[in-house]
């Protein structure tokens, strides 16, 4: 465990001061809590439950074999981001990295894109509870209004935890992550054992295309569409994201240069291994994959058929709690990013959102802003299923854009980055970078599919809004007015 002694906190505060900031948040986050933040954002229970049915329809059961490839790609990305997080252990993650290693204007743009992602994904994730899972769990017919009200309530509960107590928010998240880890492992073992004993395992499902036509299945597609097998990668691309959220609590973490990068990589590795074994277990016990693809809750149906209604109910309850933890961590991350950009006086209304509550020791006002924005997005999109699909699509697209830009930044700056001895890629740097670049280029190619047209439109609208505010900042302050605090110190370090 990292040493949470006053001496350790003093050392962390002194290292933070090198980046031009005074310690204003409490350092309470340890190793497991940092891992839990990264793992909760990834949330394999949430991602697999939400997207497994879509993969059955787009790629068939054989689409699950894209998962390990996505895991390897995202793990390479996690190593690269971990190397940056270790060298710049400051709240604001992509925004800070890009601002300090490229320039503040590009940093502001990537910060705005990150904020846009976090603002929409919390709504998309929480809405899943109200629209998809609770109606099945509680056996009632959902309406758009009911889903809206319940999602709004979930957002309020999460905001209360984030606003009033970071320690309690972490305790809740730690408990729910532990439950998800244990629950998913037990569920996987039960599925494999019971299906084997009953003789219900169908190994042909692992290589079945389901109802997807065999002709053209392995095609890369054309300029406006991706081939069926390529669309299977969306399962991993949607699920294995957000692991770098641990870096957004860097100023609240003990020894963040060492703890945060390992938390990120371990979260991806744990999610990848456990998620893939679970996918294999579900697919083996799936029965008729064509019929299963027609279900709105295929995972729950397989559990119900194989293990019974009681276990299926427990699964749904676990998924609800996992999604709640995922939304909670997304809100924590979004609030920290808002606060970090406001602290540098480059977020609309920064005078209010840069404040830390002296009573609760949290970015209280930034939390209220984030909650209000999330409720606004929910109100706009709650009555349109198409719009909610757009939210999910954008929530998959935006991380790929963020990761690609940050990895390219690392690629450009890698020879001048100092070695800190706490998390360095060493001789593996080039192979890891090759894997990360190839994977991200392939992932971005997926989003040329026409299904993401509205998601691209949403992204462009949000970028236009951000560009307008950036223009205002440049006109009012000039380029020099966007310089990062203590920029000279890190520039000097990079020149050594």
Q: Where are the domains of the chain?
A: 46-490
Looking at 1.10.760.10, 3.40.50.300, 1.20.1740.10, 3.30.930.10, the CATH number of the domain 46-490 comes to 1.20.1740.10
Q: What pLDDT, in 10s, does the model give residues 91-114?
A: 999 999 999 888 888 889 899 989
Question: What was the pLDDT predicted at 135?
Answer: 86
Pick the closest to residue 212 from 234, 228, 231 (CA basis). Answer: 228
| Lowest mean pLDDT segment, chosen from 3-12, 58-67, 125-134, 399-408 | 3-12
In the predicted structure, residue 489 carries a pLDDT above the cut 70: no
Q: What is the pLDDT of residues 69-97, one digit of tens each?
A: 999 999 999 999 999 999 999 999 999 99
Q: Label residue 457 by pLDDT band (50, 70, 90).
A: confident
Residue 233 pLDDT class (50, 70, 90 cuts): very high
pLDDT of 210 above 50:
yes
Query: Could you report the per-residue pLDDT of 264-303, keeping only the tens digit for each?
Result: 999 999 999 999 999 999 999 998 999 999 988 899 899 9
Mean model confidence pLDDT for the chain: 89
Q: Which two tokens stand for residue 133?
A: 């899972």
pTM comes to: 0.92
Instruction: Give tens-digit pLDDT for 36-46.
Output: 999 999 999 88
Q: What is the mean pLDDT of residues 152-177?
A: 95
For the ranges 115-119, 122-126, 449-453, which has the lowest average pLDDT? 449-453
**Residue 5: pLDDT above 70?**
no
Cβ partners under 8 Å of residue 387, min gap 6: 380, 381
Q: Angle formed by the axes of helices 166-198 and 298-307, to 10°?
A: 50
Select, from the ranges 7-16, 399-408, 454-463, 474-483, the one with the highest average predicted confidence (pLDDT). 399-408
So what's the pLDDT on residue 6?
A: 58
Q: Is the dihedral of CA 409, 395, 393, 237 positive or negative?
A: positive
Locate 331 and state its tokens. Answer: 């809100």
Cβ atoms of residues 335 and 366 within 8 Å: yes
Rounded CA-CA distance 158/161 in Å is 5
């Amino acid at each position: 465990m990292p040493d949470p002694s006053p001496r350790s906190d003093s050392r962390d505060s002194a290292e933070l001061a090198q980046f031009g900031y005074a310690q204003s948040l409490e350092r309470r986050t340890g190793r497991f809590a940092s891992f839990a933040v990264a793992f909760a954002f990834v949330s394999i229970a949430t991602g697999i439950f939400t997207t497994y049915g879509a993969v059955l329809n787009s790629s068939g059961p054989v689409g699950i074999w894209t998962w390990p490839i996505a895991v390897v790609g995202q793990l390479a990305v996690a190593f690269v981001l971990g190397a940056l997080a270790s060298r710049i252990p400051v709240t604001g993650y992509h925004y800070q990295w890009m601002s300090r290693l490229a320039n503040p204007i590009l940093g502001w743009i990537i910060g705005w894109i990150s904020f846009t992602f976090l603002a929409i994904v919390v709504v998309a994730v929480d809405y899943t509870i109200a629209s998809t899972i609770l109606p099945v769990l509680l056996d009632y017919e959902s309406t758009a209004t009911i889903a809206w009200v319940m999602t709004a309530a979930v957002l309020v509960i999460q905001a209360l935890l984030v606003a009033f107590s970071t320690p309690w928010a972490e305790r809740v998240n730690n408990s729910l992550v532990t439950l998800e880890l244990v629950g998913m492992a037990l569920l996987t073992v039960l599925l494999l054992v019971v299906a084997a004993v009953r003789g219900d395992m169908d190994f042909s499902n692992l290589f079945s295309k389901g109802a997807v036509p065999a002709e053209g299945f392995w095609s890369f597609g054309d300029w406006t569409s991706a081939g069926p097998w390529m669309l299977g990668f969306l399962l991993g691309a949607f699920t294995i994201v957000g692991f770098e959220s641990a870096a957004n609590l860097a100023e609240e973490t003990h020894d963040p240069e060492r703890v945060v990068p390992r938390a990120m990589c371990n979260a991806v590795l744990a999610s990848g291994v456990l998620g893939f074994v679970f996918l294999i277990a579900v697919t083996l016990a799936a029965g008729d994959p064509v019929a299963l693809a027609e279900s709105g809750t295929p995972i729950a149906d397989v559990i119900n058929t194989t293990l019974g209604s009681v276990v299926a109910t427990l699964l749904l309850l676990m998924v609800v709690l996992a999604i709640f933890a995922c939304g909670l961590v997304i809100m924590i991350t979004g609030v920290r990013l808002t606060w970090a950009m406001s602290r540098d006086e480059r977020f609309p209304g920064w005078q209010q959102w840069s404040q830390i509550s002296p009573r609760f020791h949290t970015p209280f006002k930034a939390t209220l802003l984030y909650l209000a924005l999330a409720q606004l997005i929910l109100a706009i999109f709650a009555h349109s299923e198409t719009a909610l699909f757009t939210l999910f699509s954008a929530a998959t697209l935006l991380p790929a854009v963020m990761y690609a830009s940050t990895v390219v930044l690392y690629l450009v700056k890698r020879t001048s980055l100092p070695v800190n001895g706490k998390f360095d890629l060493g001789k593996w740097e080039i192979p890891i970078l090759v894997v990360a670049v190839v994977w991200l280029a392939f992932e971005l190619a997926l989003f040329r599919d026409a299904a993401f047209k509205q998601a691209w439109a949403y992204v462009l609208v949000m970028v236009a809004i951000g560009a307008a505010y950036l223009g205002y900042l440049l006109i009012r302050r000039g380029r020099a007015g966007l310089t990062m605090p203590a920029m000279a110190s890190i520039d000097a370090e990079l020149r050594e």
